[in-house]
Amino acid sequence: MSAGDVAVRVKGVSHQFGEASEAQYVRALADTSLDILRGELLCLIGPSGCGKSTLLNVIGGLLAPSGGTVEVAGKPVRGPMPRDIAFVFQENALFPWSTVMENIRLGMLFQGVPRAEHEPRAKQCLEAVGLSDFAHHYPGQLSGGMRQRAALARALALQTGILLMDEPFGALDEQTRMILGEDLSVLLARTEKTIVFVTHSLGEAVFLADRVAVFSARPGTIKKIIRVDEPHPRNPAFVTSEKFTTLRNELYALLHDEIRKAVAESGRAGNAGGSP
């Protein structure tokens, strides 16, 4: 990773849902700026509704921000950029009527990959996520963890420089999550991808990230960025190291107050319109 090489530049982005006069009005994201470096894995972490998923969608061009701009490779983002950015969503984003293989091929079809390349690329990506034996299964026949591996394979097959992951392991149990995290770290050490990873889990953030951006309560903005100096692929033993614990505790301290604020806020607002 050559430092200073910026893959994504977020400049003064803010976003609100609805108009100021409406009951549904939510200020999700306040004036946020951030440089994401080429080849790094950046985790976004923060209390529920702090706008971290909103920021991810803005970066990916799925949501036009109320204010500010995002640049990818120097170009302003105005909509989805399938050649540069791939997404992995929280869950159930695979087409349930298609097999794993067909899902991966559909992604390449949408992106415009020549048909002859579909099969070899799909096979290679399935192998990379350890799903070669399940190419012809339907998503409904797979466990939650396997479905997310398949979704990751679909995103990898697009061969984009940037991968945006929105709580991809959020719906999985702790153990599956741990294994997937380890595999992801190994997988990503081999590619040069820039990754933005939204998570709720402190451990996951420290384990995976090169940098962790901690969000404040709504309207969210980046409160602090913590650096995790540990080479990829991360060894499972890293989790039990003192460095891991120290970083995790530091994150916890930063987050704790914000989570309290977020809970108090949502109590006052009668839970009016949390952003997903």
Partner 1 sequence: MERRRQRTQQIASRAVQIGFLLALFALWYLATNRWGVNHLLLPNPIAVWHQLMDVLSTGEYLPDLRVTLTEVAAAFAIAVTSGTLVGYVVSRSRYLIRVFEPLFAGIYSIPIILFLPLYVLFFGLGPTSKIALGTTISFFPIVLSTIAGFSNVDRVLVTAARSMGASDYQMFRFVLLPAALPVILSGLRMGFTVALLSIIGSETIASLAGLGHHIVQLAEGMDMARMFAYIAFVVVIAALLNGVVSTLEARGRLR
User: Which is nearer to partner 1, 25 or 97 (by Cβ)?
Assistant: 97
Shortest Å distance, C-beta 102 to partner 1 = 9
For residue 94, give every residue at least 6 positions away whose Cβ sits within 8 Å of its Cβ, in sequence order, or none.
100, 103, 139, 147, 150, 151, 154
State which amino acid sits at residue 44.
Answer: L
Among 76, 80, 140, 236, binds partner 1 (CB under 8 A): 80
Asked if 83 is part of the footprint of partner 1 (rule: CB under 8 A), the reply reads yes
Which part of the chain contacts partner 1 (CB under 8 A), choosing from 28-36, 93-101, 199-207, 219-227? 93-101
Q: Locate all alpha helices (DSSP H) within the chain, ordered by sequence.
A: 52-59, 100-111, 115-128, 144-156, 174-190, 202-208, 242-268
Asked if 92 is part of the footprint of partner 1 (rule: CB under 8 A), the reply reads yes
**What are phi and psi for residue 91, nearest 5 degrees?**
-165, 165
Asked if 93 is part of the footprint of partner 1 (rule: CB under 8 A), the reply reads yes
Token readout for 161 is 């420089």
User: Which is nearer to partner 1, 110 or 252 (by Cβ)?
Assistant: 110
Residues 35-64 that bind partner 1 (CB under 8 A): 60-62
Which residue's entry shows tokens 């108009």? 19
Among 85, 126, 129, 196, binds partner 1 (CB under 8 A): 85
Which part of the chain contacts partner 1 (CB under 8 A), choosing from 80-88, 170-178, 188-196, 264-272? 80-88
| Rounded Cα gap, residues 95 and 102, in angstroms | 9
Render the burial of 65-76: b for 16+ CB within 10 Å, e for the rest. beebebbbeeee
Q: Where do contacts with partner 1 occur on this chain (CB under 8 A)?
A: 60-62, 80, 82-83, 85-87, 89-90, 92-93, 95, 97-98, 106-107, 109-112, 158
